[in-house]
């Protein structure tokens, strides 16, 4: 609705009622904006402050005018599939959209086919044409590294989530110290397995994820250093797919009927848990994995899983948003520390 003000109105001191009429909002909303109270959408704040400036209620140089800007468009690019932690992360980003407005951020989540570096690189370039910042789960590949280098050189900040990329220009990484996480998994398996010697195996999503490769290295390192009587009999890739993980776990149990432990490096825990249950091995094969989700929670409760290594999805999103806000406002920032490694057992389920 367009409101016209005559010269008499403009020449006298404008009131909150005048601002409310011009901005097409309530006087209560105007009062909240002018007094800096929270709970008003950024777009509404902008409209109210613009109306107040036009009516001469505030000066054009008022700091509040300068600070009112459109929301930053931040693209979150995640792999699609049956990785329930990643699905939960994307859903939580959308659910937290009203909170992210307080960081002047409008999120846009897109899922793309997993393990396809060419598609990921093209998607990064496509989003860079309109986004004010990009956050994505990286694949370690030259095409992806080059995309990150070009996008950041053009002035768009890029951060990695969960899994990093070896690009010196990426702005920040929000994830675990994955080598330490792998060592933690090895330590947990060794402590839970009662007999010696023992046999364990690993299932990774894909070693093209730097996170998964680093977890494997950490796992192998601690077993070689401290538990040489535990033999690693296999590493299989399941592409974080529950169906493929089920088949890989059944094959491992078939080839190694005396298997004592399994480390699920990536997602798709539900497939591994079902395979153990179908083989009636859920009580005597130690199972350690990543990502606290609905299925891993149930596996902890019924004893199928022994421990889950995870990072807070909400904390990841909040820290990522804060970084984009600081970058936009020109604040100095230090590279964030790795996210805290959290280990969840049945007895300390949040």
Same-domain status, 212 and 128: no
Structural domain of 123: 72-175+313-339
pLDDT at 183 over 70: yes
Same-domain status, 329 and 230: no
Hey, which bits of the chain come out as E strands? 72-79, 105-112, 133-136, 158-161, 172-174, 198-204, 230-237, 261-264, 286-290, 307-310, 342-344
pLDDT at 78 over 80: yes
Give residues with Cβ within 8 angstroms of 79, minimum separation 6: 86, 111, 112, 113, 114, 115, 137, 240
CB 203 within 8 A of CB 272: yes
- The closest of 326, 344, 266, 342 to 81, measured between CA atoms, is 266
CB 177 within 8 A of CB 152: no
CATH code of the domain containing 212 = 3.40.50.2300
Mean pLDDT across 262-283: 97
pLDDT-based confidence at 5, cuts 50/70/90?
very low
CATH code of the domain containing 11 = 1.10.260.40
pLDDT-based confidence at 147, cuts 50/70/90?
very high
Identify the pLDDT of residue 37: 78
pLDDT-based confidence at 8, cuts 50/70/90?
very low
- The closest of 52, 12, 13 to 36, measured between CA atoms, is 52
Identify the pLDDT of residue 165: 97
Would residue 346 count as lying in a domain? no
Would residue 189 count as lying in a domain? yes
Mean pLDDT across 281-304: 97
pTM, rounded to two decimals? 0.81
Identify the pLDDT of residue 144: 98
CB 227 within 8 A of CB 190: yes
Same-domain status, 300 and 326: no
Written as one string, the DSSP assignment of 263-275 is EE-SS-HHHHHHH
Mean pLDDT across 85-90: 97
Give the pairing of strands 307-310 and 105-112.
unpaired
Structure tokens at 199: 């046999």
Mean pLDDT across 332-342: 87
Q: What is the CA angle 69-106-310, rounded to 5?
A: 135
CB 272 within 8 A of CB 249: yes
CA distance 238 to 230: 23
pLDDT at 11 over 80: no
Same-domain status, 121 and 87: yes
CB 138 within 8 A of CB 210: yes
pLDDT tens digits for range 25-72: 999 998 888 887 777 776 788 788 888 888 888 776 565 555 556 788
pLDDT tens digits for range 97-146: 999 988 889 999 999 999 999 999 999 999 999 999 999 999 999 999 99
pLDDT-based confidence at 321, cuts 50/70/90?
very high
Would residue 348 count as lying in a domain? no
The CA–CA distances, whole Å, from 105 to 18, 70, 79, 146 equal 30, 9, 22, 26
Identify the pLDDT of residue 103: 86
Same-domain status, 136 and 204: no
CA distance 260 to 269: 17
Q: What is the mean pLDDT of the chain?
A: 91
């Amino acid at each position: 609705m367009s409101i016209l003000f005559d010269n008499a109105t403009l020449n006298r001191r404008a009131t909150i009622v005048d601002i409310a009429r011009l901005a097409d909002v309530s006087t209560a909303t105007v009062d909240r904006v002018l007094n800096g109270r929270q709970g008003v959408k950024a777009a509404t704040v902008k409209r109210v402050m613009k109306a107040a400036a036009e009516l001469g209620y505030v000066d054009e140089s008022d700091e509040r005018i300068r600070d009112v800007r459109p929301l930053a468009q931040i693209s979150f690019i995640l792999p699609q599939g049956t990785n329930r932690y990643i699905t939960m992360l994307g859903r939580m980003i959308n659910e937290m959209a009203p909170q992210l407005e307080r960081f002047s951020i409008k999120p846009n989540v897109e899922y793309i086919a997993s393990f396809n570096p060419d598609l990921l690189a093209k998607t990064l370039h496509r989003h860079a044409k309109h986004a004010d910042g990009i956050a994505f789960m990286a694949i370690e590949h030259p095409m992806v590294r080059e995309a990150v280098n070009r996008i950041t050189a053009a002035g768009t900040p890029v951060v990695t989530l969960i899994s990093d990329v070896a690009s010196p220009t990426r702005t920040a990484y929000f994830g675990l110290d994955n080598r330490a996480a792998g060592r933690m998994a090895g330590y947990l398996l060794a402590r839970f397995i009662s007999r010696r010697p023992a046999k364990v195996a690993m299932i990774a999503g894909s070693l093209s994820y730097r996170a998964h490769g680093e977890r494997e290295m950490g796992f192998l390192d601690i077993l070689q250093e401290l538990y040489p009587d535990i033999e690693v009999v296999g590493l299989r890739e399941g592409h974080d797919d529950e169906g493929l993980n089920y088949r890989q776990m059944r094959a491992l149990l078939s080839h190694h009927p005396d298997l004592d432990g399994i480390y699920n490096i990536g997602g798709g825990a539900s497939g591994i848990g079902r395979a153990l249950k179908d083989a009636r091995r859920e009580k005597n094969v130690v199972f350690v994995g990543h990502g606290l989700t609905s299925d891993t929670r149930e596996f902890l409760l019924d004893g199928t899983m022994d421990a889950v290594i995870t990072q807070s999805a909400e904390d990841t999103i909040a820290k990522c948003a804060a970084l984009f806000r600081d970058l936009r406002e020109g604040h100095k920032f230090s590279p964030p520390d790795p996210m805290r490694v959290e280990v969840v057992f049945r007895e300390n389920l949040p």
